[in-house]
Amino acid sequence: MTTPTDRPTARTPLQQAALLAGVVFLLVGVLGFVPGITTGYGSMEFAGHDSGAELLGLFQVSVLHNLVHLAYGLAGLVLARTAAGAYSYLLAGGAVYLVLWVYGLSVGHDSGANFVPLNSADDWLHFALGVGMIALALVLGRRPAGRHAR
C-alpha cells in the first residue's frame, strides 16, 4: 500500500529550469555530431580553432565542444534532483558561461588559445546563457517572504 509520503515530491520551478537547461545542453551536444544540422561536419576537429564545423551553420563546434555540452547537460539532469543542486547548477553554470564569454572576447578567434573553439556567435550566446542561468537561479531560488532558514 502506498501512502502520500511514498510519492516523490513535485519538482520546484528552480528544479524544472535546471532540468530543462540540462536537456537543452544534452540536445545541443548530440546535434553537434549530426551532419546536416552541423555544417562542415567533415572538417570538425577534436579541438582548436581550425575546426570548420558549425552547429546550425552559426556556432563553431568541435568534438571537445560537443562533449562539454553533453557533460554540462548530464550535470544539469543530476543536479536538478534537488533544489540546492539546481540552484548551484544554474548559478555556477551561469558564472562559467560569463567567464567563457570574457575568454572568447579576449582571445583571438584564430589563436591557439581558442581551443574550444569559439566564434562571435558562441561568445554572445555564452553571454546570454550566463545572464539567463544566473537570473533563473536568483529569481526562482528566492524564498517566499516569511520563510527563513532555521
Residues 76-102 have a mean pLDDT of 97
* pLDDT number for residue 3: 52
Axis crossing angle, helix 63-79 with helix 83-106, rounded to the nearest 10: 160
pTM: 0.86
Instruction: Report the residue count for the chain.
Output: 150
Is pLDDT above 50 for 55?
A: yes
Nearest CA to 108 out of 32, 64, 48 is that of 48
**Cβ-based neighbours of 131, under 8 Å, separated by 6 or more:** 94, 98
Mean pLDDT of 124-141: 97
